[in-house]
């Protein structure tokens, strides 16, 4: 038998036999007269008719279809001798392979009819399944979207390539499976009763789709919920104007209702409308319209009644030759998954389904209708039982990437491949054998990777990344050596000058051993907010005035630097200042402000009136200095140094003497680039009793905790550090120029070092490569693009 059977042939073979057979003999008179009878006369009657009747087989006596159907035994014998090429005999004209195949198929069709005619054929009914019910209601009302979530619809096409004139699938298509998260249906619609599947996977069997009285009540409630859904509106319902809208001329209400109901019932019940049935629904509709608040509400009631009728819910599984409507229904539910449209019912009424040519024309139209997409949404998935693939749960240890995305397992992508192949074979009318042994397929990036790769990061890319990592290390080492070299050169230039200045000051102040305090920042407040050490100018927020070489910070005001270019852990805060009001509560003299409300600040009166503390966020690094005394110096200079040791020890010195007892708390880390220095404020954001009205003489910031000797020298007021101004004044013009050049080069090198890409630990690098690969697999898994690929 020739296996290169196209899709027109496949559709004709649905459900185990020719669709041409569905009419109970509609096409067989033509087959008998045009194919079998001429064949008998040409090659058979010479030996099996007339004067000779070999084997008691008289083919000449078969004058009609009825004569042939009366002899099923003869039909069986003819099938065997023709199929095995025993007949015609060798000395008679032989049949071609195509003629032999078509003759055998035609005889098999007659055999089926002959057997059925011998038996008492009991009509079989089955209930519409959810997919058919959804489509039928959608088509009846011309709805813009589905009634239900349809997880059984395994593939959603983003554009309907089935309607292309070229009858060829595009090289690339966009599809997705929403089976796990189906697109929403109408709001408020009750669930459809669960469909049962037969053992072979199909849900079209009458014994699986029963309808008990209790279930009938469920369908009535379902139909009511559809018509009462908030989505069932004029904009969503295509037949609203023709069926539900208020009539323009309400004078003859019964005639208007009859005119609207007759075509609707014909489509819903898939048959001609008997007068008694129509009258019953017209009376019910008329009563409902009269008793309801509007014509639309009454028509909704009758529509829900029609949808709950057994004439709508049941369809004939058995097609009798005197029932063209049943054949139309069988055709439409086989190919469209829905009720027949007006054109198909007209074809049945005109008898066009009762002959081969007419039926072929109808099939041609049906196959080109957009509703054929529903056949592809239903039949292939059930035929291949793809729902079993969706239920698969492989061992994640063996198939890690199958479920790497818990919300989108690989099975959702895998089922799309056979469905797309089915689409292509259908659309391109390709041989059926390509469903079993295809020469091409449609695959996504994920499937190509799944089938072809080792499902692990590319080792070549990983080696390149490690080599890049080594280059990063080398570059950082080079920049570090440059910075170290320039720091040494700068120190060699300025340190001798710095030591000379300190020695001269020590002689002047009679200090035996000079101490270089080396603050990282200092402010003199001598008419401006510039820093005398480092480059950390202050910005005022609110009121700040200069008076007698000091800065006076007003209420609700504060000063703040820009972010510091270094990290602060161990540190010291030093300030000379005076207060005119000792009863302020919770204001800060000087502090370190980190990200958010993270801070360490010298604060007065927050826990006990007039007592100093180290304020911190949530008091996390704050305790009272045991034995401390309340502040009593009004309008006199106070000198405070708060030190924060590496071990978390916090000490406060007032005018060179320890203030109370130190304590330990976890040391805070203030990050580089996110930390600033503040004056006159406990912490940001401003307001809320955090401000301090204070007059500051000078202040210092150290990136270490000063020891007691350094504190004592600082308290004496000795200028035991060299400011930028002092150093520049002591350098020669050539030295100042060299210093500027070195500082610029040092700054550039430090910036380059700071911006240089940091090397990654090899294990972390492998982890990053794995993470990147996993993310790529997740991206590929979600991709909806499928490309046509050749298969070997």
Q: How does DSSP assign 456-519, residue by residue?
A: S--HHHHHHHHHHHHHHHHHHHHHHHHHHHHHHHHHHHHHHHHHHHHHHHHHHTT-SS------
Residue 578, pLDDT > 90, answer yes
Phi, psi angle pair for 629, to nearest 5°: -110, 150
Using a pLDDT cut of 90, give the percent of the chain over it: 48
Residue 13 has pLDDT above 50, yes or no: no
Checking if the pLDDT of 36 tops 80, the result is: no
Per-residue pLDDT band at 123 (split at 50, 70, 90): low
CA distance 787 to 790: 10
Q: What is the pLDDT of residues 623-642, one digit of tens each?
A: 999 999 999 999 899 999 99
The pLDDT of residue 213:
66
Q: Which of the following CATH numbers is that of domain 521-717: 2.60.120.200, 2.102.10.10, 3.40.1410.10, 3.30.70.1400?
A: 2.60.120.200
Contacts of residue 543, defined as CB under 8 A and 6 or more positions apart, other chains included, come to 553, 554, 555, 557
pLDDT score recorded for residue 260: 94
Q: What number of other Cβ atoms are within 10 A of residue 633's Cβ?
A: 12
For residue 6, pLDDT over 50 is answered with no
State how far the alpha carbon of 315 is from the alpha carbons of 259, 319, 456, 552, 736, in Å. 25, 10, 54, 95, 102
pLDDT computed for residue 8 by the predictor: 41
The span from the CA of 237 to the CA of 243, in Å, is 10
Q: Cis check for the bond before 256: say yes or no (omega within 30 of 0).
A: no
* Residue boundaries of the structural domains of the chain: 7-118, 319-377, 385-509+722-755+765-792, 521-717
- Across the range 436-460, mean pLDDT stands at 87
Chain-wide mean pLDDT for the chain?
85
């Amino acid at each position: 038998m020739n296996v290169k059977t196209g899709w027109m042939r496949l559709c004709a073979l649905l459900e185990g036999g020719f669709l041409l057979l569905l009419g109970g003999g509609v096409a067989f008179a033509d087959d008998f007269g045009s194919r079998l009878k001429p064949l008998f006369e040409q090659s058979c009657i010479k030996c099996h008719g007339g004067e000779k009747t070999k084997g008691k087989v008289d083919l000449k006596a078969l004058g009609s279809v009825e004569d042939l159907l009366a002899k099923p035994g003869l039909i069986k014998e003819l099938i065997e001798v023709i199929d095995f090429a025993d007949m015609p005999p060798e000395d008679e004209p032989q049949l071609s392979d195509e003629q032999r195949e078509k003759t055998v198929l035609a005889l098999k069709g007659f055999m089926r009819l002959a057997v059925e005619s011998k038996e008492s054929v009991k009509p079989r009914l089955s209930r519409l399944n959810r997919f058919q019910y959804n489509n039928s209601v959608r088509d009846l009302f011309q709805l813009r979207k589905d009634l239900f979530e349809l997880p059984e619809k395994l593939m959603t096409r983003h554009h309907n390539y089935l309607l292309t004139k070229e009858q060829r699938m595009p090289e690339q298509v966009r599809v997705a499976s929403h089976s796990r998260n189906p697109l929403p249906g109408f709001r408020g619609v009750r669930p459809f009763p669960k469909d049962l599947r037969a053992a072979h996977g199909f849900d079209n069997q009458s014994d699986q789709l029963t309808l008990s009285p209790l279930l009938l009540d469920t369908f009535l409630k379902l139909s009511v919920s559809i018509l009462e859904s908030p989505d069932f509106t004029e904009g969503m319902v295509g037949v609203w104007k023709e069926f539900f809208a208020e009539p323009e001329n309400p004078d003859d209400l019964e005639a208007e209702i009859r005119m609207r109901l007759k075509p609707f019932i014909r489509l819903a019940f898939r048959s001609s409308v008997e007068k008694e049935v129509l009258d019953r629904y017209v009376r019910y509709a008329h009563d409902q319209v009269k008793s309801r608040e509007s014509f639309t509400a009454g028509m909704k009631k009758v529509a829900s009644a029609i949808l709950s009728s057994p004439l709508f819910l049941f369809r004939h599984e058995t097609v009798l030759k005197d029932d063209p409507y049943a054949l139309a229904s069988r055709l439409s539910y086989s190919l469209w998954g829905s009720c027949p449209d007006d054109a198909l019912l007209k074809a049945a009424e005109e008898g066009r389904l009762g002959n081969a040519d007419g039926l072929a024309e109808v099939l041609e139209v049906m196959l080109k209708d957009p509703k054929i997409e529903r056949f592809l949404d239903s039949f292939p998935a059930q035929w291949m039982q793809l729902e079993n693939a969706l239920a698969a749960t492989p061992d994640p240890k063996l198939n890690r990437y199958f479920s790497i995305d818990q919300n989108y397992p690989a099975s959702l992508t895998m089922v799309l491949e056979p469905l797309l192949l089915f689409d292509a074979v259908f659309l391109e009318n390709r041989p059926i054998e390509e469903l079993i042994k295809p020469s091409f397929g449609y695959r996504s990036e994920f499937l190509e990777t799944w089938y072809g790769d080792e499902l692990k990061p590319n080792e070549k890319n990983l080696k390149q990344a490690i080599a890049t990592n080594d280059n990063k290390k080398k570059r950082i080492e080079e920049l570090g050596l440059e910075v170290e070299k320039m720091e040494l050169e700068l120190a060699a230039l300025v340190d001798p000058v710095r030591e000379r200045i300190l020695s001269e000051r020590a002689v002047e102040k009679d200090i035996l051993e000079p101490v270089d305090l080396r603050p990282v920042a200092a402010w003199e407040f001598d008419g401006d907010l510039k820093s005398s050490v480092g480059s950390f100018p202050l910005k005022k927020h609110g009121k700040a005035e200069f008076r007698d070489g000091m800065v006076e910070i007003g209420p609700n005001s504060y000063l703040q630097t820009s972010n510091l270019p270094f990290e602060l852990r161990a540190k010291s805060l030093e300030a000379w200042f005076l207060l005119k009001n000792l009863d302020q509560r919770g204001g800060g003299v000087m502090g370190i402000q980190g990200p958010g409300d993270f801070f360490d600040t010298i604060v007065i009166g927050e826990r006990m009136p007039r007592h100093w503390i180290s304020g911190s966020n949530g008091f996390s690094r704050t305790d009272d200095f045991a034995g401390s005394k309340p502040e009593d110096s009004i309008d006199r200079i106070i000198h405070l140094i708060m030190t924060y040791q590496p071990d978390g020890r916090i000490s406060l010195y007032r005018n060179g003497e320890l203030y109370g007892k130190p304590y330990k708390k976890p040391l805070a880390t203030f990050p580089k680039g996110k930390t600033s220095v503040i004056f006159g404020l406990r912490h940001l954001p401003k307001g809320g009793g955090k401000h301090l009205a204070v007059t500051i003489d000078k202040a210092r910031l150290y990136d270490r905790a000063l020891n007691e000797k350094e504190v004592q020298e600082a308290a004496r007021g000795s200028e035991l550090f060299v400011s930028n101004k002092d150093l520049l004044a002591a350098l020669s013009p050539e030295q100042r120029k060299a210093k500027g050049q070195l500082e610029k080069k040092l700054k550039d090198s430090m910036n380059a070092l700071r911006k240089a890409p940091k090397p990654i630990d090899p294990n972390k690098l492998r982890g990053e490569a794995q993470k990147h690969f996993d993310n790529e697999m997740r991206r590929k898994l979600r991709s909806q693009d499928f490309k046509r690929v050749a298969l070997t």
